Amino acid sequence: MVGNQVSLKIRQGFILVFLLIVAMPTLFVSIGNAYRASLIEATEKTLEAHLYSLISEVEYSEQGVEMPRSILAPELNRVTSDTYAMIYNGDQQLWQSESALNIDFKPDLFIAETGKSDFRMVTHKGKKYWQLSLTGILGNLDQDIEARFILVKSNDGILRLMEGFKETSINWMLIMGVVITVLMIIGFFWSSRPLHRLDKEIKAIESGDSMSIKGHYPVELQTIKADLNLLLESQQRQKERYRASLSDLAHALKTPLAVLKSSPLAQDSDAQEQLDRINVMIEHQLKRAATGASDTWKKQTLIKPVADSIFNAMSKVYRDKNIQFNVEVNDKHFFLGDKTDLMELLGNLVDNACKACESQVSLKVVQIKKRLRLIIEDDGPGVPEQKRELLLQRGTRLDSYESGHGVGMAIVADLVKGYHGHLTIGDSPLGGALFELEFDYQETT
């Protein structure tokens, strides 16, 4: 699945982007709203304190409402203050604080129940204010009146505090964003170091420099380490048992075959042919059973040394044909498997090409990342299209086809299948057959 193939770096990046773009701004917006609510609550408490201060100082006489020249709340005594106090009887203003002398402010004279306070935002001439009002009874021995105490505070003060808070919040958000980014990058590299070390040890095993994983790893990777080592040990034991059994079998069959081939009965051409066929079949089955393609763990084998060895041998075997060999392979191309298997694959195909060719044999190796292609061509008669499928079918007598495509193709087909590769047969630009082996290690590792 595509989702499972997303790299750890991309996943970490998604988390970081989520924190920086979604989580942190949401957090700071929530803090800002909480701070604004606390400012509004503080404003209400301040106005309540001023209100009760006014109520404690007000007196009512025949001349009307009387207040001390200097009241307890200093904010109401300053002309430049943004807090105002007024007392109304119906629509008639009975008193106003010195801070309200130079402003033209008409409070919201809504009907309120006597003895209950009301706190709300009001708008006057496009500006916003916070208004706290309380209706009470003022009176003396002769009469009493219903008086409305009104305290007003401009919203500009809250806006200024909020602007300062936003500026500070943005600065802190940028600082925290940088700090979180740096910490997450450091944390990613720190947590991924064991994976890099494990990858290096696995590559060392693939290249044959090591036989097991020996490093110290966190608890989460200890089980993987133990399982891999167990797998490697099991594979090694299995290969040793195969080699011992096959060696015994090979030695056991050698003597009977040698006796039969040297007996008078073997002088008959048909009998000799059948003995040769039995010998080839035994070798094929032994190699198939011992193939490295059945290994759980595959090692990298450089292709160039193997190809050079094979073509050097072919140039001697087919010296009389004066074959022109064309080899395109560099020092970095590798086969993910056993060296013996690679020699078997190339040896059989190149040998067949040499048998079938007129004068040219070509090997071209193409490797892009973990996709490997081996292309063997010749200028011989080629393989008829209607026989190509039969040539690769299991159990077909392959030696009945054109010269150069004999029983070795069965070995090649089995090896390619064991390595989960693909073998295709086509026409070569040289005029003969084209055999292409393709291995996709991304699928098999």
Q: Give, in order, the Cα–Cα distances in Å from 370 to each of 293, 317, 442.
A: 17, 34, 6
Quote the pTM value.
0.52
Tokens for 172, please give them. Answer: 């802190």
Beta bridge partners of 176: none
Tally Cβ neighbours within 10 Å of residue 58: 19
Is 281's pLDDT higher than 50? yes
Is 303's pLDDT higher than 60? yes
Is 310's pLDDT higher than 70? yes
Report the share of the chain in percent with pLDDT over 90. 24
- 221 versus 399: the higher-pLDDT residue is 221
Local confidence band at 395 (pLDDT 50, 70, 90 cut-offs):
very low
Report the share of the chain in percent with pLDDT over 70. 83
Is 396's pLDDT higher than 60? no
Which of 1-10, 78-87, 201-210, 252-261 ranks highest by mean pLDDT? 78-87
Q: What integer pLDDT is reported at residue 270 of this predicted model?
A: 64
Is 437's pLDDT higher than 90? yes
Is 298's pLDDT higher than 50? yes
Q: What integer pLDDT is reported at residue 187 of this predicted model?
A: 87
pLDDT tens column, 331-385: 989 998 888 888 889 998 999 899 989 999 999 999 988 889 999 999 999 888 8
Distance of CA 238 to the CA centre of its chain: 36
Local confidence band at 329 (pLDDT 50, 70, 90 cut-offs):
very high
Local confidence band at 403 (pLDDT 50, 70, 90 cut-offs):
very low
Contacts of 336 (CB under 8 A, 6+ apart): 206, 298, 299, 300, 301, 370, 372, 419, 439, 441, 444, 445
Local confidence band at 286 (pLDDT 50, 70, 90 cut-offs):
low
Look at 280-284, 429-433, 437-441 and tell me which has the smallest mean pLDDT.
280-284
Is 400's pLDDT higher than 50? no
Q: How many residues can be counted in the chain?
A: 445
Local confidence band at 135 (pLDDT 50, 70, 90 cut-offs):
confident
Q: What integer pLDDT is reported at residue 179 of this predicted model?
A: 92
- 91 versus 128: the higher-pLDDT residue is 128
Local confidence band at 404 (pLDDT 50, 70, 90 cut-offs):
very low
Is 402's pLDDT higher than 50? no
Span 44-48, mean pLDDT?
A: 92
Contacts of 156 (CB under 8 A, 6+ apart): 82, 127
DSSP string, 250-288: HHHHHHHHHHHHHSGGGGSHHHHHHHHHHHHHHHHHHHH
Phi-psi region of 322 (alpha: psi -120 to 50; beta: other; left: phi over 0): left
Q: Which DSSP category does 18 fall into?
A: I
Is 195's pLDDT higher than 80? yes
Look at 60-74, 91-105, 314-328, 351-365 and tell me which has the smallest mean pLDDT.
60-74
Is 407's pLDDT higher than 80? no
Residues 269, 272, 274: CA angle, nearest 5 degrees: 110
Q: What integer pLDDT is reported at residue 247 of this predicted model?
A: 67
Q: What integer pLDDT is reported at residue 141 of this predicted model?
A: 60
Decide the pairing of beta strands 422-427 and 433-440.
Answer: antiparallel
Beta bridge partners of 422: 438
Q: Helix 269-290 vs helix 408-418: angle between axes, to the nearest 10 degrees?
A: 10
pLDDT tens column, 218-246: 888 888 888 888 888 887 787 777 767 76
- 27 versus 247: the higher-pLDDT residue is 27
The SS3 assignment for 23 reads helix
